[in-house]
Amino acid sequence: MKLTPEEQDMLIGKHGKAAQKSMEILTTLGGIFDAKCMVDVYSVQIAGVSYANLGEAGLEFLSEMAEDGKVKVLTTLNPAGMDRENWQTLGINDEFAKNQIRVIDAFAKMGIITTCSCTPYFIGNVPHFGQHIAWAESSAVCYANSVIGARTNREGGPSALASALTGKTPKYGYHLDENRHGQVSIRVNAQVKGTDGFGVLGKAIGDKLIKLGKNIPFITGIPSATVEELKSFCASIATYGGTALFHMEGITPEFDRYPKPGGNVSEINQEDLEKARFELVDDGLEIDFVSIGCPHASISEIEKIASLLKGKKVKKEFWITTARPIKRIADEAGYSKIIEDTGAKFAADTCCVVAPIKGHFKGMMVDSAKACYYGRAKNKFKVKIGTIEECVEEATK
In the complex, the residues that contact ligand F3S under the rule CB under 6 A are 78-79, 118, 139, 235, 294-296, 321, 351, 353-354, 370-371, 374
Q: Which is nearer to ligand F3S, 290 or 354 (CB)?
A: 354
Work out how close the CB of 295 gets to ligand F3S at its nearest, in angstroms, rounded to a whole number: 4
Work out how close the CB of 49 gets to ligand F3S at its nearest, in angstroms, rounded to a whole number: 9
Q: Which is nearer to ligand F3S, 43 or 266 (CB)?
A: 43
Q: Which is nearer to ligand F3S, 172 or 346 (CB)?
A: 346
Pairing of strands 287-297, 113-116: unpaired
Determine contact, residues 170/30, Cβ cutoff 8 Å.
yes
Work out how close the CB of 200 gets to ligand F3S at its nearest, in angstroms, rounded to a whole number: 16
Q: Which is nearer to ligand F3S, 38 or 344 (CB)?
A: 344
Q: How far apart (Å, rounded) are the C-alpha atoms in residues 131 and 129?
A: 6
Determine contact, residues 250/144, Cβ cutoff 8 Å.
no
Q: What are phi and psi of 180, to 5 degrees?
A: -110, 10
Q: Which is nearer to ligand F3S, 118 or 365 (CB)?
A: 118
Work out how close the CB of 60 gets to ligand F3S at its nearest, in angstroms, rounded to a whole number: 24
Work out how close the CB of 264 gets to ligand F3S at its nearest, in angstroms, rounded to a whole number: 32
Q: Which is nearer to ligand F3S, 172 or 374 (CB)?
A: 374
Q: What are phi and psi of 350, to 5 degrees?
A: -140, -170
Q: Any idea what the Cα angle at residue 60 is, between residues 57 and 64, rounded to 5°?
A: 145
Residue 319's DSSP bridge partners are 291, 345
Q: Which is nearer to ligand F3S, 26 or 294 (CB)?
A: 294
Residue 326, Cβ density class (10 Å: 0-12 exposed, 13-18 middle, ≥19 buried): buried
Determine contact, residues 84/104, Cβ cutoff 8 Å.
yes
Work out how close the CB of 302 gets to ligand F3S at its nearest, in angstroms, rounded to a whole number: 14
H helices then E strands: how many in the chain?
A: 14, 15
3-state secondary structure of 119: coil
Nearest one of 271, 278, 276, 270 to 241, comparing CA atoms: 276
Work out how close the CB of 97 gets to ligand F3S at its nearest, in angstroms, rounded to a whole number: 18
Q: Which is nearer to ligand F3S, 45 or 139 (CB)?
A: 139
Q: How far apart (Å, rounded) are the C-alpha atoms in residues 383 and 10?
A: 48
Work out how close the CB of 116 gets to ligand F3S at its nearest, in angstroms, rounded to a whole number: 9
Q: Which is nearer to ligand F3S, 184 or 297 (CB)?
A: 297
Work out how close the CB of 170 gets to ligand F3S at its nearest, in angstroms, rounded to a whole number: 25
Identity of residue 147: V
Determine contact, residues 127/148, Cβ cutoff 8 Å.
yes
Nearest one of 126, 74, 80, 98 to 321, comparing CA atoms: 80
